[in-house]
């Protein structure tokens, strides 16, 4: 199934960079951002769920990590939301699950504000850092409102290691990318995208924003240099 919400608001630079999905796909395939380790952490979370569960994936991209982590599990429905139409086309083409799956071409901030049913799992990986700080906080509040009482949020994102500013963090990331098996043109394209569109936050910011949204959290993944983190979060009042 597919659906398009009209008047998609594309923040400048983000949609344009991801239109050429092949570059990001090659980063995933080379495990440059540790999708393999993150996928294993997701799998542990999903395997521990006690009943059939619905999944909303915000900023899903080509849904490849979600699809792999959900394989063979008791999923009632999966909805992926993203601004990048070519990534959604790849997700649809590669889907072989036995549950109902829908992809929506929309801004994840607008989408969650208008969801009309509670969800068992909301996941988001490497998308939140594109939002301004105040929008990140408001978005987490909206997400928390749309979880069932026993629902879970899995939040994966890039992160400023303790003591590093946003610019120092972007530079540290680019130092890592220097060793990735990519052409100089591709590395330059990633650098331009990161400088214009990536706004990772500190662990303290993310943990404060989760608490303010009424979510308790547990860290389920951390990059060796602290440049990426993953949290499993649940509504505080149970």
Interaction site with ligand SAM (CB under 6 A): 11, 14, 18, 28, 59-61, 65, 81-84, 87, 107-109, 125-127, 130
Q: Which is nearer to ligand SAM, 80 or 235 (by Cβ)? A: 80
- C-alpha to C-alpha distance for 167 and 11, rounded to whole angstroms: 20
Q: Which is nearer to ligand SAM, 109 or 113 (by Cβ)? A: 109
Q: Which is nearer to ligand SAM, 130 or 222 (by Cβ)? A: 130
CA angle 151, 155, 161 (to 5 degrees): 145
Q: Which is nearer to ligand SAM, 71 or 236 (by Cβ)? A: 71
Q: Which is nearer to ligand SAM, 81 or 140 (by Cβ)? A: 81
Residue 73 CB, shortest distance to ligand SAM, in Å, is: 18
- Cβ atoms of 161 and 189 within 8 Å: the answer is no
Residue 125 CB, shortest distance to ligand SAM, in Å, is: 3
Residue 50 CB, shortest distance to ligand SAM, in Å, is: 25
Residue 81 CB, shortest distance to ligand SAM, in Å, is: 6
Which residues, in sequence order, are CB contacts of 228 under 8 Å at separation 6+? 33, 34, 38, 126, 156, 157, 158, 159, 221, 222
- C-beta contacts of 141-146 below 8 A and 24+ residues apart: 141/212, 141/213, 141/214, 142/109, 142/112, 142/113, 143/58, 143/112, 143/213, 144/213, 144/214, 144/215, 144/235, 146/56, 146/112, 146/115, 146/117, 146/118, 146/119, 146/122
Residue 4 CB, shortest distance to ligand SAM, in Å, is: 13
């Amino acid at each position: 199934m597919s659906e398009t919400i009209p008047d998609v608001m594309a923040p400048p630079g983000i949609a344009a960079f991801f239109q050429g999905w092949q570059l990001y796909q090659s980063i995933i395939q080379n495990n440059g951002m540790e999708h393999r380790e993150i996928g294993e952490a997701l799998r542990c979370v999903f395997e521990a769920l006690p009943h059939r569960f619905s999944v909303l994936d915000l900023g899903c991209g080509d849904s490849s990590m979600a699809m792999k982590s959900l394989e063979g599990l008791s999923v009632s429905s999966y909805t992926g939301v993203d601004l990048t139409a070519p990534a959604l086309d790849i997700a649809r083409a590669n889907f072989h699950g036995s549950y109902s799956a829908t992809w929506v071409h929309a801004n994840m901030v607008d989408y969650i504000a208008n969801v009309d049913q509670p969800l068992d799992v909301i996941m988001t990986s490497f998308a939140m850092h594109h939002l301004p700080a105040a929008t990140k906080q408001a978005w987490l509040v909206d997400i928390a409102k749309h979880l069932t009482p026993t629902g879970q949020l899995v939040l994966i994102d890039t992160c400023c290691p303790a003591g590093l500013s946003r610019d120092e963090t972007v530079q540290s990331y680019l130092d890592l990318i220097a060793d990735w098996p990519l052409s100089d043109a591709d590395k330059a394209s990633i650098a331009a995208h990161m400088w214009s569109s990536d706004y990772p936050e500190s662990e303290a910011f993310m943990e404060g924003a989760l608490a303010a949204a009424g979510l308790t959290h547990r860290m389920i993944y951390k990059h060796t240099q602290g440049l990426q983190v993953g949290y499993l979060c649940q509504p505080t009042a149970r």
